[in-house]
Amino acid sequence: MSATILDGKELGRTIEKDLISRIDNLKKLGISPHLAVVIVGDDPASHVYVRNKEMACNRCGITSTRIDMSSKVTEIEILEIVKKLNLDDSIHGILVQSPLPSDIDESLIIDAISPNKDVDGFHKMNLGSLVQGNTSGLLPCTPAGIMKMLEMSGYQTSGKNALVIGRSRIVGMPISLLLAQRGIDSTVTISHSRTKNLPNICLQADLIIAAIGSADFVKPEWIKPGAMVIDVGINRISDSTRKSGYRLTGDVDPNAANIAGWISPVPGGVGPMTIAMLMSNTVLATEQSLR
């Protein structure tokens, strides 16, 4: 069997195009959706992610402002910038690029962002709202992008055994909640580094979401034939044959495509869906600011 490849770039561009009429309606009211991105330090991967987000804003007609801060910045200085952006009515979305330097308390910064402008969907009020079953607000972008990918590919989630590998605040836990919600109705198993017999648990899964951060971790022989496999992982592997000196790979061994029914590639799978959902959240936050 050769899996159908879920083209996140194409699906993401479709989502972005669908936003354009909503953005035009806002502009007719004299309001231009505006995303502010705060980036601290010079982590090369973070700079690539921020550039990709700025490019997506350009494609959609969303204004973007980037605030670069030195890696020596203090928590108080970041909090002051966030406060300023919260008070600025021309800014509708605020994102503080992760990871922050190790001496900065990331959750303190995220919870300082106004929940109405929290387009990453990580504020405790937005995550709490998701726990309560409300999925109409600002959802975390990667889990929301995965749900959109499943929906757009026509995959029926109801009654399926879904295995989420990883239990992080930004991917594993929220995607588990989204898959278990009423109307989606998957039966969800959450696994992590202490899980025993993971290969056997994988073999029972109709749907696997791999969000670990370990290159090619999920092996083809762990996959149930025909399963839906969503690879969230982004791992940099050194590769001297490339100009960049590295290549990107996911958490799933690419040979899994010989067993799975559907598989999302890395790169070009969940990454572009995440960016498209960030655009979607920025438009939603702008629309909600009018209420």
Pick between residue 36 and residue 170 the one whose CB is nearest to ligand NDP: 170
How far apart are alpha carbons 137 and 291 in whole angstroms? 14
Per-residue binding string, ligand NDP, 129-148, x by CB under 6 A, is -------------x------
Helices (H), 153-247: 172-180, 198-203
Q: What is the dihedral of CA 44, 48, 54, 58, to 10 degrees?
A: 150
Residues 202/163, Cβ–Cβ less than 8 Å: yes
- Other Cβ atoms within 10 Å of 46 Cβ, number: 16
Which of 36, 85, 170, 179 is close enough to bind ligand NDP by CB under 6 A?
170
Pick between residue 31 and residue 180 the one whose CB is nearest to ligand NDP: 180
Sign of CA dihedral 79, 85, 86, 92: negative
Which of 192, 226, 242, 288 is close enough to bind ligand NDP by CB under 6 A?
192
Q: Which of 120, 206, 231, 251 is catalytic?
A: 120
- 3-state secondary structure (DSSP) of residue 190: strand
Please report whether residue 213 would count as binding ligand NDP according to CB under 6 A.
yes
Residues 82/109, Cβ–Cβ less than 8 Å: yes
How far apart are alpha carbons 83 and 96 in whole angstroms? 12
Contacts with ligand NDP: how many residues (CB under 6 A)?
25
Which of 165, 178, 256, 276 is close enough to bind ligand NDP by CB under 6 A?
165
The yes-or-no answer on residue 97 being catalytic is yes
Please report whether residue 73 would count as binding ligand NDP according to CB under 6 A.
no
Stretch that binds ligand NDP, among 100-108, 119-127, 212-220, 280-288 (CB under 6 A): 212-220
Pick between residue 126 and residue 142 the one whose CB is nearest to ligand NDP: 142
Q: Which of 53, 117, 148, 224 is catalytic?
A: 53
Closest contact distance (angstroms) between CB of 276 and ligand NDP is: 11
Please report whether residue 195 would count as binding ligand NDP according to CB under 6 A.
yes
Q: What is the dihedral of CA 232, 276, 259, 172, to 10 degrees?
A: 30
Helix (H) or strand (E) holding 230: strand 228-231
Please report whether residue 274 would count as binding ligand NDP according to CB under 6 A.
yes
Per-residue binding string, ligand NDP, 236-265, x by CB under 6 A, is ------------------------------
Closest contact distance (angstroms) between CB of 175 and ligand NDP is: 9
How far apart are alpha carbons 210 and 230 in whole angstroms? 6
Closest contact distance (angstroms) between CB of 82 and ligand NDP is: 21
The yes-or-no answer on residue 288 being catalytic is no
The pair of three-digit structure tokens given for residue 16, joined into one six-digit string:
């972005």
Give the Cα-Cα-Cα angle 269, 176, 288 (nearest 5 degrees).
Answer: 80
Please report whether residue 193 would count as binding ligand NDP according to CB under 6 A.
yes
Pick between residue 59 and residue 167 the one whose CB is nearest to ligand NDP: 167
Number of H helices, E strands in the chain: 9, 11
- Other Cβ atoms within 10 Å of 268 Cβ, number: 17
The yes-or-no answer on residue 132 being catalytic is no
How far apart are alpha carbons 64 and 33 in whole angstroms? 9
What positions carry a catalytic annotation? 53, 97, 120
The residues that touch ligand NDP, with contacts defined as CB under 6 A, are 142, 165-168, 170-172, 191-195, 198, 211-214, 232-235, 270-271, 274
